[in-house]
């Protein structure tokens, strides 16, 4: 051991232990935990604070650890009643160590191996999907927490605003405070906690995995049924005979019923009502108003502002006009007077029913947090002495990658770049190290003969019963 790593005589006599689970290399006094709160000094021995987490498999025997004792309720049968996750497993740092758990099993007669570890991810972040029509901010705008840049706004998708947070440049490429705030924000989001984000030139939004987003203090309720044009197409037959014109206000694509193919196919009479914006195809308009927190994700509080003109050669007094948003949250009924000016009125029950159907077809608004990372050298070296073979095995679908027992999506291309929905993982799956970096569970499962072929540490394989006998564990059944 180098002089830098070695404990002094005074430290050894004081019972201090060195933690080598990450590059920080904490010196931990008896009864205390390290900087990450995941490792502690217990009577002069370095221990993992949290238990190793097992996932109960459906339709098999259930087991449960009794806190404060070594007793178990239930039976494991043949040792196939649970899946060993990387939560609480410890890391492979300093990279060349084999994974802490290489577990053999025999499901349905097939010899399998699961390589289990906790990965230290410096190259990681989250992609956040926020179901809302509200304007959060311009693309490429900086997203901040406590004033520090932690990410940016990326492209909007259908009914959702998207954020990209974290990444190595925010974790390590800025100031120390930026890295610390970024790491803390990622940790909270991945552990399904609420985080308030401020977007430059835009909104403040509170995000929590699998919970409705809160935009400028207002909780979102619905995700849009579709764009304005799609809403016209879906509900045109239900509006026919009850309205003369429908305008579905939308920041992206506003729909006008009688111009739209949906109205044309139903032989609806043109009304001469023209809306602002850039016409795309018949009945479809772009840029009818600036984005904002009003009707259909626009800045509008009064939907009549998007009407550019009403052609007296086509319109008529008494013309019935419905204006509605893409979520049904905003809806107004108008009739044209003798000067062909829209006057508000009571919405007929048949029309109200269709507005309510728009709302019924909107899914609940949620925030989705996807952890994304590159599984680099330390993880792969913990599986095999020749790490590129693991990459090839994953690419060829011989090895299944999971995080906390949840299947990960592995991106095409080089390396093992993966993504997983944190809401499906057990609670408190993620930790951190002050380098700063996130710590996440990861498991590689493959056939025993394939593991041997890629040069894995097959001689270190143990059974589930061995794990139970030697380690403090906790069973998680929440995701079954």
Three-state SS string over the chain comes to: CCCCCCCCHHHHHCCCEECCCCCCCCEECCCCECCCCCEEEECCEEEECCCEEEEECCCCCCEEECCCCCCEEECCCCCCCEEECCCCCCCCCCCCCCCCEEEEECHHHCCEEEEEEEEEECCEEEEEEEECCCCCCCCCCEEEECCEEEEEECCCECCEEEEEEECHHHHHCCCHHHHHHHHHHHHHHHCCCCEEEEECCCCEEEECECCCCEECCEECCECCCCCHHHHHHHHHHHHCCCCCEEEEECCCCEEECCCCHHHHHCCCCCCCEEECCEECCCCEEECCCCECCCHHHECCCCHHHHEEEECCCCCCCCCEEEEEECCCCCEEEEEECCCCCEEECCCCHHHHHHHHHHHHCCCECCEEEEEEEECCHHHHHCCECCCHHHHHHHHCCCCEEEECCEECEECCCCCCEEEEEHHHCCCCCCEEECCCEEEEEEEEEEEHHHHHHCCECHHHCEEHHHHHHHCCEEEECCCC
- Residue-level pLDDT, tens digit, the chain, 480 residues: 444 556 777 677 678 998 888 888 899 999 999 988 888 898 888 888 888 898 876 433 333 333 333 433 334 434 456 889 999 888 888 777 889 999 998 887 789 999 999 999 999 999 999 999 889 999 999 999 999 999 999 999 888 999 999 999 999 999 999 999 999 999 999 999 999 999 999 999 999 999 999 999 999 999 999 999 999 999 999 999 999 999 999 999 999 999 999 999 999 999 999 999 999 999 999 999 999 989 999 999 999 999 999 999 999 999 999 999 999 999 999 999 999 999 999 999 999 999 999 999 999 999 999 999 999 877 898 999 999 999 999 999 999 999 999 999 999 999 999 999 999 999 999 999 998 999 999 999 999 999 999 999 999 999 888 888 888 888 887 554
What pTM value is reported for the model? 0.87
Q: What pLDDT does 130 receive?
A: 97
CA dist 331 and 222 (Å) reads 15
Q: What pLDDT does 478 receive?
A: 59
Q: What pLDDT does 172 receive?
A: 94
Q: What pLDDT does 62 receive?
A: 33
Geometric angle at alpha carbon 299, from 296 and 304, rounded to 5°: 75
Structural domain boundaries of the chain? 9-48, 52-123+376-404+413-420+438-476, 124-223, 228-360
* 468, burial (CB in 10 Å: exposed 0-12, middle 13-18, buried 19+): buried
Q: Which two tokens stand for residue 232?
A: 């016209």
Q: Which two tokens stand for residue 467?
A: 């794990």
Q: What pLDDT does 359 receive?
A: 95
């Amino acid at each position: 051991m180098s002089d830098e790593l070695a404990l002094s005589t005074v430290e050894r006599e004081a019972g201090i232990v060195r933690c080598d689970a990450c590059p920080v290399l904490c010196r931990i006094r008896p009864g205390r935990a390290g900087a990450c709160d995941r490792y502690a000094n217990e009577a002069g021995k370095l221990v993992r604070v949290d238990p190793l987490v097992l996932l109960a498999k459906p339709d098999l025997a259930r087991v449960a650890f009794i806190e404060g004792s070594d007793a178990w309720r239930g039976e494991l049968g043949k040792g196939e009643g649970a899946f060993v996750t990387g939560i609480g497993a410890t890391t492979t740092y300093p990279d060349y160590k084999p994974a802490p758990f290489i577990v053999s099993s025999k499901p349905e007669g097939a010899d399998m191996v699961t390589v289990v570890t906790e990965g230290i991810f410096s190259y990681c972040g989250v992609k956040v999907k926020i179901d809302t029509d509200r304007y959060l901010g311009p693309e490429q705008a900086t997203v901040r927490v406590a004033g520090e840049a932690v990410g940016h706004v990326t492209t909007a998708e259908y009914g959702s605003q998207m954020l990209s947070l974290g990444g190595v440049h925010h974790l390590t490429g800025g100031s120390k405070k930026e890295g610390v705030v970024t790491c803390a924000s990622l940790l909270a989001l991945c552990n399904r906690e609420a985080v308030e984000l401020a977007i430059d030139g835009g909104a403040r939004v509170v995000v929590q995995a699998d919970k409705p987003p809160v935009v400028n203090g207002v909780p979102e309720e619905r995700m849009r049924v579709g764009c304005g044009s799609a809403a016209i197409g879906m509900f045109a037959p239900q509006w026919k005979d009850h309205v003369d014109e429908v305008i579905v206000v939308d920041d992206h694509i506003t729909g006008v019923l009688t111009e739209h193919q949906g109205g044309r196919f139903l032989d609806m009479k043109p009304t001469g009502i023209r809306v602002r914006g850039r016409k795309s195809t018949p009945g479809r308009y772009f840029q009818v108003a600036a984005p904002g927190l009003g009707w259909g994700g626009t800045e509008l509080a009064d939907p009549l502002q998007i009407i550019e003109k009403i052609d007296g050669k086509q319109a008529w007094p008494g013309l019935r006009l419905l204006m509605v948003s893409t979520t049904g949250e905003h809806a107004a009924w108008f009739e044209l007077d003798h000067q062909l000016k829209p006057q508000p009125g009571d919405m007929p029950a048949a029309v109200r029913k269709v507005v309510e159907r728009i709302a019924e077809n909107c899914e609940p608004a949620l925030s989705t947090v996807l952890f994304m990372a590159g599984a680099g050298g330390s993880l792969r070296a913990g599986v095999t002495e020749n790490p590129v073979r693991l990459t090839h095995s994953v690419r060829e679908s011989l090895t299944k990658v999971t995080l906390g027992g949840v299947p990960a999506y592995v991106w095409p291309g080089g390396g093992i770049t993966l993504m997983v929905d944190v809401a499906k993982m057990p609670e408190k799956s993620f930790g951190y190290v002050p380098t700063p970096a996130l710590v996440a569970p990861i498991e590689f499962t493959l056939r025993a003969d394939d593991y041997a072929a890629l040069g894995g540490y097959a001689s270190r394989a143990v059974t589930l019963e061995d794990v139970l006998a030697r380690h403090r564990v906790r069973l998680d059944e929440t995701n079954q």
